[in-house]
Amino acid sequence: MPDFSLPCIFLVAVVSYIAYKYANKVSRFPLPPGPPKWLWIGNYFQLPVIHAWKIYASWAKLYGIPRLNLCRSSYLSPLFGQTTIILNTGKAATDLLESRSALYSDRPVWVMGALAGRARSAFHIPYDHPQFRSYRKMLHSGLNPRITRTYRPIQERELNTLLKNLLETPENFISHLRRNAAGMVLKVAYGYEVSTGSDDFIDRIENFFQETEKHLSRPYLVDFIPFLQYLPEWFPFVDFKRIAREHKSMDVESFTYNWAKNLIASGNHNDSFVSHFLQREGHETPGEEEEEAIKWCSAALYIGGADTTVSVMTSFFYLMTMYPDVQALAQAEIEEVIGTDRLPMLDDRGYLPYIDALIKEIIRWGPVAPLGLRHRVKEDDVYLGYHIPKGATVIANIWGITHDSELYPDPHTFRPERHMGPHPETDPYKFVWGFGRRVCPGAHLAELSLFLNISNILATFNISKALDAQKRVVEPQIEWSNATVSHIKPFNCRITPRPTVALAWLAD
């Protein structure tokens, strides 16, 4: 029996090309400039695989609109041409994703994610889905500044564990950072108390994250040719169905939610995000739709909070290793304001402007999600005389924005002072937490956790370059991971206690 799979794919590609050409002729405005396309395959083979944020920034200089750095890449999906618009400046991102958020708050169709059971996650649910508003309302209700004050005891308890771990085994600092972030967020989200040693709960979730980044962070052919999802698993080019099926079976969101739900039913539980919504006074027992919302929103707290915090904290250790003068200035401010008889607290934040500027500069220098999450245009739009077609994917190059020399002169230099004084440079928090109706609802809690951890580590430890066996300085090598949430890969540094009263108190 002849194999018609390749001719069918070729036919669909030809139809796609014709449809793409037609779709872009109906507008009298041109598409934004971008790299030249290759016949019917568009820019598919030009799409960057590693560190795309740097490639997109370079495209902006080559093809973008002067001073606005708007550029375009295109590739084909069946029946319709698919266009990606890359926003490389804060102005373009703000004009479109903030000022026109009603048009730009949708998510692209993610076929592979839907097959893997991820379609209804808080990060990927479509803007016009009936549950979208419920998700946002629930997340804001559980993460607003008033509620986050109740999380302070959890943050402080996890901080003390982090400092003690750094004191005992400083060489494992990245593991300690992961345990700290996971411990705080799991307690807030589910009421789960992380054990002091190896924790099976965390191990299961971390394994899920690793599998997600390994298998779902790259595009699959089915995302460009959706009809492939209807073919049997044994068919050529359909191995993605097996990967999706295996990933879906892990279902960590249901595992963690059901754990919390069962503990609440037993009457022996800690207050948490889940218990707040399952036990609200005057409310009936949640129905199936509301339980789905609670499950996905509680998972969002962990997915959106744990990994991002670890990314910033890893950058912090690297930057303190490389910039000892900045570290000294930050420690001097803490000693001048706080003294040495106690550790900094959250209420001290307003009195430590250099620490606040330091955290902003860490996030500007190494944004946790360099390309953010993708947006989708709901209707045809025109911006600066260029056509942005309905259904186009819009990417805010957050790394490109925070390294724009017009916003941040000498952007590759780490300099906290740029965020201080009567004329500070643009606040990077405007960009790094997302945009419009998709902005991160947990940003306030994240900022508080970062302040508490960083100010206390600076008060109690000195961070410097590692030494080899011959006591020679080892220069740390910087390499970034290629995931949605990007990290500096593990490196060595030296973490030594400072001779302060505060550290002596901690050791006791």
DSSP secondary structure, 96-132, as one string: IIITTHHHH-B----HHHHHTT-TTSTTTS-TTSTTH
Where does the pLDDT of residue 429 fall: very low under 50, low under 70, confident under 90, or very high at 90 and above?
A: very high
d(CA 106, CA 405): 30
pLDDT the model gives residue 184: 92
d(CA 151, CA 146): 10
Asked if pLDDT for residue 147 goes beyond 70, the answer is yes
Asked if pLDDT for residue 78 goes beyond 50, the answer is no
- Structure tokens, 178: 């992961």
The answer to whether the CB of 29 falls within 8 A of the CB of 386 is: yes
* Exposure letters 455-476 (e unless 16+ CB within 10 A, then b): bbbbbbbbbbbbeeeeeeeeeb
d(CA 153, CA 158): 9
Between 270 and 51, where is the model more confident? 51
Asked if pLDDT for residue 12 goes beyond 60, the answer is no
Asked if pLDDT for residue 79 goes beyond 50, the answer is no
Between 237 and 448, where is the model more confident? 448
d(CA 404, CA 389): 26
440 is in an annotated binding site: yes
- Residues 371-400: tens digit of each pLDDT: 999 999 999 999 989 999 999 999 999 999
The answer to whether the CB of 393 falls within 8 A of the CB of 43 is: no
d(CA 149, CA 275): 17
Mean pLDDT in residue range 419-445 = 94
pLDDT the model gives residue 223: 83
d(CA 340, CA 237): 63
d(CA 187, CA 396): 32
DSSP secondary structure, 152-175, as one string: HHHHHHHHHHHHHHHHH-GGGHHH
d(CA 342, CA 332): 15
Where do runs of H (alpha helix) occur along 338-440?
Answer: 353-365, 398-402, 429-432
d(CA 310, CA 450): 10
pLDDT the model gives residue 503: 56
The answer to whether the CB of 442 falls within 8 A of the CB of 181 is: no
- Residues 440-470: tens digit of each pLDDT: 988 999 999 999 999 999 999 999 999 988 8
The rounded mean pLDDT for the chain is 87
Type of residue numbered 256: T
| pTM of the predicted structure, to 2 decimals | 0.89
- Residues 275-324: tens digit of each pLDDT: 988 887 556 677 888 899 999 999 998 888 888 999 999 999 999 999 99
Biggest CA–CA distance in the chain, Å, is: 83
The answer to whether the CB of 169 falls within 8 A of the CB of 305 is: no
The answer to whether the CB of 454 falls within 8 A of the CB of 163 is: no
pLDDT the model gives residue 247: 87
Asked if pLDDT for residue 51 goes beyond 80, the answer is yes
CA distances from 498 to 8, 170, 406 (A): 68, 13, 39
Lowest-pLDDT choice from 113-127, 173-187, 190-204: 190-204
CATH number of the domain at 310, please: 1.10.630.10
Query: Which DSSP category does 95 fall into?
Result: I
Counting the structural domains of the chain, the total is 1
Mean pLDDT in residue range 417-438 = 95
Residue range(s) defining the domain that contains residue 239 = 5-507
- Structure tokens, 445: 């809690």
The answer to whether the CB of 425 falls within 8 A of the CB of 131 is: no
- Residues 321-365: tens digit of each pLDDT: 999 999 999 999 999 999 988 999 999 999 999 999 999 999 999
280: Cβ contacts below 8 Å, ≥ 6 apart: none
Through-space distance between the first and last CA atoms of the chain, rounded to whole angstroms:
78
Lowest-pLDDT choice from 183-197, 413-427, 438-452: 183-197
Asked if pLDDT for residue 502 goes beyond 90, the answer is no
Asked if pLDDT for residue 484 goes beyond 90, the answer is no
The answer to whether the CB of 53 falls within 8 A of the CB of 370 is: yes
Mean pLDDT in residue range 419-433 = 96
pLDDT the model gives residue 400: 95
Phi then psi for residue 72, to 5 deg, are -140, 145
